Chain A
């Protein structure tokens, strides 16, 4: 059986991101990486292959020609094949239009399991997996922080991340799609030699014609959502220590990150009384009627 992994090349969010005009960012100038969550998905697929029972790991990406770098990276980790869905008609696709392209390509592949990252670092929507599963008519489980696949009985068991460290264990028969969280595994270190070897591996490319898609169904025209503008969040206030204070105090303030003193409310009374008053103010913000 084969595993298909969906990956996206994203701009490195650690780099300086600027807004250009009103509705775009300076992405051509920025360094690009494999979306961190997707790398975890690739690692998981390779680990499953190493355990046996998996014939091939196929990585699929929709993106510009430069996304070949991301796919080479996945090949260096140990993926067998890479497929790049590349056409200028795909530009500006949202999650929905992206899923249409991926679904079309994946439906021609043999697979039992599809893995993808829980969300992308750039837009952070985390929706492609859901649309893709719906279009391929297979079940999806998201938020995987631990997973186990039993190929004989054709089943995958997933620990899904909930609030406050709680977990839910879900089971689903294959074929299925699992969206993984960072933390499911630690993507391996790849040697320079493996990277160079992977560079020589061929990446299959498919354009809109090869996939048999219509222009109206992809890109901006096929999208359900549209980004109309970018803006900056309110800038963080930079702390400047009070120059009237002695040097030691100023240093202390800088070390602690420039605290603003809060007007703390000291609750008095016996331990029981104080505890009761504190519990009162901590009580969940209940709607008062």
Chain B
């Protein structure tokens, strides 16, 4: 069938950012090929996903619904999607290169004995309409452009954070097709024994997507508890400047800066950090930087995308509450 598929990632019916990136990327490719864009969501009770895809540019949504598919379960997901791909034969299938997305894509590629190009940062089409997939290799020193000739469908995975999410694309409502794949659980050998949620105090800074950092302005060991709460609400970890570490508010491996670690999270919240050049060197490449400081002239504001001039002891708890409130509101909806 002349379809481009994107494999969405969702939690409790709410789509992850990467899913919107996939929709944007998929729409672009489908338009060039003059094909339909179909989105596949896999989970349990995911009817809400269908609704939020209205007007998104997706032509049809396939919802694979089964209580066993609630969280990513590698073998079951692979089984369900491989069957659907074999049945409907799409031209191109896109995943996001997240830990689960790349595992999923690789498993489907193996099951279908076809090629896969993962971690792509750019796409184009050649004269025959074959997908030109560009991805970094050799430690990012060169980009290689790869084709998957003679194999259908062409499986590919997009590196998250490289696609601009476009807004309203269509006035059309999405056509929703619900399916409930069935399987014999005993036929699968991998058992998900447990899930360990990251503890904001122990996760390594290199792995964190969100870092809440504190400096001299935090003032005490106890006040770091406020930062910890904010980190929890944002799904991130706590870090600090050298002062925070020297004062033993934090262990040495949580230090950001020239004599500590260099970090590149998606979001960096600097609380009570004035922003000496030594600290800034360690965090300047963060995607978004937010600064909270009492001194409006603090150098940290020069590198921040957003700033609040105020006492962090008041602002941080207010921010934590606000984020929690929004999360609750999103859940109810």
Contact = CB atoms under 8 A, between A and B. Distances in A.
Interface of A: 11, 13-14, 17, 19, 25, 94, 96, 121-127, 130-131, 133-134, 139-143, 157, 159-173, 176, 223-233, 252-253, 255-257, 259, 261-262, 264-268, 271-272, 274-276, 278-279, 281-285, 287-289
Contacts of B237: 165
B107 A259 contact: no
Interface in B83-102: 98-100, 102
Contacts of A226: 146-149
17 contacts: A17-B142, A163-B99, A169-B192, A225-B116, A226-B149, A231-B134, A231-B142, A231-B143, A233-B142, A262-B303, A266-B306, A276-B318, A278-B306, A278-B322, A282-B288, A282-B323, A289-B55
A232 B142 contact: yes
Interface of B: 15, 17, 20, 23, 52, 54-56, 74-75, 98-100, 102-103, 106-107, 109-111, 113-119, 132, 134-151, 165, 167-168, 189-199, 202-204, 207-210, 235-237, 258, 267, 277-278, 280-281, 284, 288-291, 296, 301-311, 314-315, 318-319, 321-323, 326
A155 to B, nearest CB: 10
A172 B322 contact: no
A15 to B, nearest CB: 9
A130 to B, nearest CB: 4
Given A122-B137, A127-B106, A259 B114 contact: no
A284 to B, nearest CB: 6
B280 A167 contact: no
A281 B165 contact: no
B143 A287 contact: no
A164 B139 CA distance: 22
B308 A169 contact: no
Contact of A162 (B100, B134, B150, B303): B100
Residue among A141, A167, A288, A289 having the largest count of chain B Cβ atoms under 10 Å: A289
Contacts, number: 250
A289 B207 contact: no
B140 A131 contact: no
A208 to B, nearest CB: 20
Contact of B148 (A225, A253, A285): A225
A10 B61 CA distance: 42
A281 B308 CA distance: 13
A143 B99 contact: yes
A63 to B, nearest CB: 17
A224 to B, nearest CB: 3
Given A283-B326, A287-B165, A287-B167, A256 B281 contact: yes
A121 B148 CA distance: 21
B147 A256 contact: no
Contacts of B119: 124
Interface pairs A-B: 7 shortest CB-CB: A224-B115, A165-B203, A165-B198, A13-B139, A275-B318, A256-B277, A134-B110
A169 B195 contact: yes
B151 A224 contact: yes
Contacts of A265: 305-307
A197 B168 CA distance: 66
A5 B202 CA distance: 31
B307 A266 contact: yes
A285 B17 contact: yes
Residue among A230, A274, A281, A283 having the largest count of chain B Cβ atoms under 10 Å: A274
Contacts of B309: 266, 268
Given A272-B318, A289-B54, A142 B145 contact: no
B277 A131 contact: no
A276 to B, nearest CB: 5
Contact of A230 (B142, B195, B319): B142
A266 B294 CA distance: 12
B236 A131 contact: no
Contacts of B202: 165
A128 to B, nearest CB: 10
B207 A165 contact: yes
A173 B190 CA distance: 8
B196 A170 contact: no
A225 B146 contact: yes
A164 B236 contact: yes
A257 B145 contact: no
Contacts of B303: 259, 261-262, 264
A163 to B, nearest CB: 6
A201 B183 CA distance: 50
A165 B141 contact: no
A5 to B, nearest CB: 19
